[in-house]
Structure 1
Amino acid sequence: MNKSLNRWQVIAASTAILLCTGAVYAFSVFANPLSSQTGWTMPQIMMAFTINSAIGPIPMILGGYLVDKGFVKWTIALGAFVFALGFFLTGFVSSPIMLYLTYGLMAGLGQGFAYSGALSNILRLFPDKRGLASGILTAGMGFAAVIASPIASYLIQSHDAKFAFRAIGLAYLIIVGLASFFIKPAPAGYKPEGWEPPAQIQNNGSINRNWLQMLKTPVFYIVISMFFVGAFSGLMIASQASPIG
């Protein structure tokens, strides 16, 4: 089974999917034109991005659980499809509530499932290159906005914001549909040919803890606070990147 599995094909397909789901970070390109087209205020428009960002981490937890249970392909494919469909349906919204359901809820849930599923599976497929593999996926997620922004700007200028959502969303539906065929789950205990896990090395002073013990350590709250500050400030800038630029 290991010999018939092309893990580079899987990471290419996973990255293609994340190049779609990462388009949420290009929302600032859509926000002002959508406000002008619909007459909704910018706070109303930006609430969709807030909901998307708040919802996204929740399915990441559930997605990791489903991957552990063997539902790798379903987690990634279904998440990617829900994201692309939510993006596409945003082009038909007629009220802020609809915007919150399509871009906020659907796209947020889909992105979380697709990302957690893809990352969990790829780390199992690349135990010898975990840093490289996770770096490729993360780069794909981040680079998505670089690709989506100029395309969205062109479509908005030539048509309007809702048309841009529909056109890009349709393209994403096609891409994730094709890429999903190449997603394969990592076999249990997968090891690349010719690679053996390194011997466990005990570092001086290091202690392995379970998650309950981890929550009792002060350093955990310092580290998690750093992550929160970094993530929140980054999302704040991403949501306003176009006006700032």
Structure 2
Amino acid sequence: MNLTRKRWHLLVVGCFINLFAGSLYAWSVFGAALADRLTAIGPDKVASADLALAFGLANAVGPITMISGGAVNDRFGPKFVIAAGGLLMGAGLYFCGTAATPLEIILAYGLGFGLGLGFVYGCTVNNTMKFFPDRRGLSGGLTTAVYGSSSVILPPAAAWLIAEFGIEAAMKGLGVVFAVVIVAGGLLSMRCPPGFVPEGWTAPAKSVQRADRNWRAMIASEEFPSMIALLMCGAVAAMMILAHAYSIARNQMGFTAADASVAVSVMALANTVGRIFAGTLSDKLGRLAALTLGIAFSLAGLAALAFAGPERPPLFYAGLVSVGMAFGSFMGVFPGFTAEVFGSRNNSVNFGIMFAGFAVAGVLGPTLMGTLRGAGLGYAVCYGAAAAIAATGLFFIWRLSRIFARGGA
């Protein structure tokens, strides 16, 4: 089959893999049930908070395998990197179902699942984009959007499995299914030939001028500091609200538990839509234009949240949707943005390093709200602090536009 046509089949495979990889977002369902199981079989009471380190560790170690697996992917292709990741993820879930102590769960999920996820996510996104130099925004937006859609689909599915079969059987079954599906998807994937150009497309001259820098050249470049800072600025607000969305809905808005859960799902769905929308838009208007729009969404959403209250629920939902769209904009655009600036050949490693900007936001955002709320300050102050950080991103967009106007570093 013609590779220009086959790449669309490979895109579908990558999206299907990411639908399962995004099971990270079902942790809140797993964690509560696993804590109940440990309490039932052990001498001490275990709360879901006692297992929170497993989720944090899974997020923290992901970039390690995004970078190391990315180096293998860039040289040899994604087949066995994704397969290895699928085995690790499946084993992590399976052994959570057999664990007898919190430490066993933290090691199984935090290290096993987390390291496997880094292999899988890094390869699916970056290898797919290599086949779409003409549509980097679309391909990056779709693969990351399907990953994000797991936050809407998988938690209720996991809750049903746990209710029907129990947490032990659910974790073991999910581990086997995830391993089989992701390994199969990896083996169906293929390496993009170096220098691949789709039929009927000619690379713009500027893309050639800034092509194929390795991670050392990327870090030493004039663009890198502004790009990684921009990613951090664009993600802080969403990470702050996503981490506390349920409690915000309960405390600021007075929602019931059921309504608060719906609010979380609304923001997650907006995040998914934002990845596709902004990724596609960035192919037409440019990456910086799409990211500028993302910051505008973030500022508008934070303002809506600041003025929302129990008597104005539509304003609250509008704020969640806007911030979710903003977050999706950054997560959908940045893989292709990184490839466009530094070249696609080394993008698996380069984006793994760039992803550190998101990792910083993942720590800073939740901590910022926790600190301000702990000091007795209101939600409006938290939203204002997040807005100040998001607005700082406009400076880095301006700086990058100046660098690009003169042809890069």
TM-score with structure 1 length normalisation?
A: 0.85
Greater fraction helix: 2
- Tell me, in whole angstroms, the C-alpha distance in 2 between the residues paired with 1:157 and 1:216: 47
How big is the shift at 1:48? 0.7
Using the TM superposition, name which of 173-182 and 117-126 deviates more: 173-182
Alignment coverage as a number of residue pairs: 238
Q: 1:120 aligns with which of 116, 119, 126?
A: 126
How big is the shift at 1:220? 5.3
Q: 1:183 to 1:239 in 2, by over 3 A?
A: farther
Query: Does residue 1:192 correspond to 2:191, yes or no?
Result: no
Identity percentage of aligned residues? 31
Amino acid corresponding to residue 180 of structure 2 in structure 1: I
The higher relative CO (CA closer than 8 Å, separation ≥ 6) is in 1
- Tell me, in whole angstroms, the C-alpha distance in 1 between the residues paired with 2:206 and 2:84: 37
- Tell me, in whole angstroms, the C-alpha distance in 1 between the residues paired with 2:196 and 2:120: 21
How big is the shift at 1:153? 0.9
C-alpha contact 1:60 1:116 (8 A) present in aligned 2: yes
Alignment of 1:39-54 (within 5 A): 39=39, 40-54=46-60
Amino acid corresponding to residue 157 of structure 2 in structure 1: I
- Tell me, in whole angstroms, the C-alpha distance in 2 between the residues paired with 1:129 and 1:44: 44
The residue that corresponds to 1:56 in the other structure is 62
Query: What do the CA deviations read for 1:1-22 (whole angstroms, capped 9, x no partner)?
Result: 9648711121111111111111
Query: Does residue 1:74 correspond to 2:77, yes or no?
Result: no
Query: What do the CA deviations read for 1:80-124 (whole angstroms, capped 9, x no partner)?
Result: 221122112211111111101111101100101111111121111
- Tell me, in whole angstroms, the C-alpha distance in 2 between the residues paired with 1:80 and 1:237: 30
- Tell me, in whole angstroms, the C-alpha distance in 2 between the residues paired with 1:210 and 1:184: 26
Query: Does residue 1:139 correspond to 2:158, yes or no?
Result: no
Query: What do the CA deviations read for 1:165-196 (whole angstroms, capped 9, x no partner)?
Result: 11222221221132223201100101111111
Q: 1:182 to 1:238 in 2, by over 3 A?
A: farther
- Tell me, in whole angstroms, the C-alpha distance in 1 between the residues paired with 2:89 and 2:222: 33
- Tell me, in whole angstroms, the C-alpha distance in 2 between the residues paired with 1:2 and 1:187: 13
Q: 1:212 aligns with which of 193, 196, 220?
A: 220
How big is the shift at 1:30? 1.7
Q: 2:158 aligns with which of 140, 152, 165?
A: 152
- Tell me, in whole angstroms, the C-alpha distance in 2 between the residues paired with 1:143 and 1:161: 23
- Tell me, in whole angstroms, the C-alpha distance in 1 between the residues paired with 2:224 and 2:5: 41
The residue that corresponds to 1:37 in the other structure is 37
Unaligned runs of 5+ in 1: 202-208
Using the TM superposition, name which of 224-233 and 139-148 deviates more: 224-233
How big is the shift at 1:238? 8.1
The residue that corresponds to 1:206 in the other structure is none
